[in-house]
Structure 1
């Protein structure tokens, strides 16, 4: 086993489950863009309870089961790769939030 450590950029994209891009789920389009551009990895995380700027609570526990739960697309790669795909991501997102931060990454191979 090899252990690699280093500093990378972590991008989190906060969107809704029902958000679309060109008729397709936005989260799928974002992950596919990352893959096409050679980004190291992207993961979609589904929120079970939360609210955003609208202050509307979204919950997976309601009787009707919300079909617009919050999603977070997490992407980790070099600052250069993240910065290169940001202009394309900007064109895809109608509503949402992106956070960028430095991440100390430990990778095991």
Structure 2
């Protein structure tokens, strides 16, 4: 088994739909067994701009991490899906074992 994590921003969209929602729907369609989407509080990336929530208005360009744990072959197809939707998303993977 492998874990795959996709690092995005809340403001990333695909055809006017939040990218993390598009990834979730397309992953369901391709038979990915499960997914967790985590919204972060604050962070920064390659552009060095800080992303965070406005504490008074509750909005901002928060970091988002999409996590999938899947068999390697299906996981590779998931990565190709992500690449087809957003070329500059960061995708990392690592081996996992169920305890």
Establish whether TM, by shorter chain, passes 0.5: yes
Which of structure 1's runs of 4+ aligned residues deviate more than 4 A? Answer: 61-66
Q: Which structure is higher in strand share?
A: 1
Tell me what 2:82 maps to: 89
Q: Distance in 2 between matches of 1:105 and 1:53?
A: 33
What TM-score, normalized to structure 2? 0.89
Q: Is the aligned partner of 1:47 residue 2:28? A: no
1:15 aligns with: 8
Larger Rg: 1
Deviation at 1:37, TM superposition (A): 0.8
User: Do the aligned partners of residues 55 and 66 (structure 1) sit closer, same or farther apart at CA in structure 2, a change above 3 Å counting?
Assistant: farther
Contact 2:6 2:89 in 1 (8 A): yes
Match of 1:28 in 2: 21
In the comparison of the two structures, how many residue pairs are matched? 99
Normalising by the residue count of structure 1, what TM-score does the alignment of the two structures yield?
0.81
Q: Which runs of 5+ in 2 are unaligned?
A: none
1:74 corresponds in structure 2 to 67
